[in-house]
Amino acid sequence: MTSPISPIGPIAPISSVNAAAPAGGVAGADGATAVGGGDFSSALGKGMNALDSAQSNADNLAVQAATGQQIDPAAITVAMTQAQLMTQLAATVQSKAVTAFNTIMGMQA
């Protein structure tokens, strides 16, 4: 007997950003605006919390399967794949941030 696979929930929409007048924005010399650092840091924190919860979920399901509890193999596979992809994304973002920082520091020389 097989158990049905539950559907994937909808992805939360990205909040729209009004480039003409962002909250806490600072206008540059060319009229472009930049959003304050609080937004990026809170988004980064939320992303890291989501990564931590995905990894914890995958770990808990793996432990339940290893101890002999009845767990859907598809749920374990989905949870582990999600945690793996989120970890790869975090590593890529970190790598890009370091590259951007080094590029900016090279411009000051």
pLDDT digits (tens, 9 = 90+) for 23-55: 444 444 444 455 555 788 888 889 999 999 999
- Residues 61, 71 contacting (CB under 8 angstroms): yes
Q: Could you tell me the two tokens for 97? A: 């941030």
Domain count for the chain, please give it: 1
Reported pTM = 0.59
Asked whether residue 48 is assigned to any structural domain, the reply reads yes
Cα three-residue angle 91-97-102, rounded to 5 degrees: 130
Domain that includes residue 102, residue range: 32-107
Which stretch of DSSP H or E encloses residue 26?
strand 26-27
Asked whether residue 18 is assigned to any structural domain, the reply reads no
Rounded (10°) CA dihedral 23, 91, 64, 1: 90
Asked whether residue 19 is assigned to any structural domain, the reply reads no
Asked whether residue 9 is assigned to any structural domain, the reply reads no
Q: pLDDT tens-digit profile of 66-88?
A: 998 988 899 999 999 999 999 99
